[in-house]
Amino acid sequence: MQFVAAVRMDKWLWAVRLYKTRTIAASACVSGKVRVGGEPVKPARSVRIGEVITAVAGEITRTLKVTSLIERRVSAPLACQCYEDLTPAAEYAKPRQPNFQPIMLRPRGAGRPTKRERRKLDDLQNEQDAR
């Protein structure tokens, strides 16, 4: 693992495996999902040791304290040594998949919907899309 003096924010986030690609890391920075001290940061901003970075990665908001700087992607065990994870346990307990509720329940084995039932389903779907 090679340590460096200054690293771009998007490069560091990618190197410690918070985001899958550097492009995704840069997009997260631009969209305001990455914050340092409560302030959104740009992808080109330099990361400093001791900073606390808050980043939204998927469904989870991760909080990391920078302990060392790297600019090349390394294995997961080595990447974990570059930060201290301050993410609350409640964040990891969040459900990963959204809870989708069916619009209308049909009894199993009822067959295909009739034309009238299909129109009702389409009306319900159009109401959902309008919201």
- Map out the domains of the chain as residue ranges: 9-92
Rg of the chain's alpha carbons, rounded to an integer?
22
Question: Domain 9-92: which topology?
Answer: 3.10.290
Place of tokens 């400093």: 48
- Determine which of 49-63, 78-92, 116-130 has the lowest per-residue pLDDT on average: 116-130
Query: Residue 124 has what pLDDT?
Result: 84
pLDDT tens per residue, range 32-84: 999 999 999 999 999 999 999 999 988 889 999 999 999 899 999 999 999 99
Predicted confidence band of residue 102 (pLDDT cuts 50, 70, 90): low
Apex CA 25: angle with CA 22 and CA 28, to 5°?
155
Asked if residue 20 lies in contact with residue 30, where contact means CB atoms within 8 angstroms, the answer is no
| pLDDT value of position 6 | 85
Q: How far apart are CA 35 and CA 63, in angstroms?
A: 9
- Of 15, 18, 89, the closest CA to residue 58 belongs to 18
pLDDT band for position 129 (50/70/90)?
A: confident
